[in-house]
Amino acid sequence: GRLGNEATFLYQLMARELGTNNLPDCSNMCHEASGRALQASLGTGKGTVDLKDWESADALFILGVNAASNAPRMLTALAEADRR
C-alpha cells in the first residue's frame, strides 16, 4: 500500500530510533524475481534501458508494465515516442 507523507515520516523516525536506516518497501518483494532473472541473463540485476535510445528507435515493445504506476519517469518519453 501507499503511506501519506506524515505516516512515512513517522515510519522512518521509528526505524531510526530502533537503530536502522534500512526501510523495506515493496520493491524488495516485487522485484526480487525480475532482478535475479536480469542478473542471470544480462549480468546486472537492474534495468538497462536508456530513455535517450528511444529517440532513435523505429519501434518500441513495452510488455508487462503499467508505466503510470510503476515507471512514471518513462511516461514522458513514451508519449514523445508515440507522437513520432
C-alpha span between 39 and 47 (Å, rounded) = 10
Whether 41 and 63 map to the same domain: the answer is: no
- Residue 37 is placed in which grid cell? 532473472
10 plus 44 within the same structural domain: yes
**DSSP one-letter code for 33:** H
Tell me the pLDDT tens digit for each residue of 10-69.
988 999 999 998 877 766 677 788 888 889 998 988 777 788 888 888 998 888 778 788
Q: State pTM to two decimals.
A: 0.45
Say if residue 66 is in the same domain as residue 38.
Answer: no
Alpha-carbon torsion (47, 51, 52, 56), positive or negative: positive
Q: Say whether both 4 and 42 belong to one domain.
A: yes
Instruction: Give me the domain span that covers residue 73.
Output: 49-84
**Rounded distance between C-alpha atoms, residue 79 and residue 84, angstroms:** 9
Both 17 and 32 in a single domain?
Answer: yes
For the cut 90, the answer to whether the pLDDT of residue 77 exceeds it is: no
Whole-number Cα distances in Å, 12 to 1, 30, 46, 62: 16, 21, 25, 34
pLDDT at 18: 93
Q: What pLDDT shows up at residue 27?
A: 66
Decide if pLDDT at 70 tops 70. yes
- Do 3 and 14 lie in one domain? The reply is yes
* Domain match, 4 and 43 both: yes
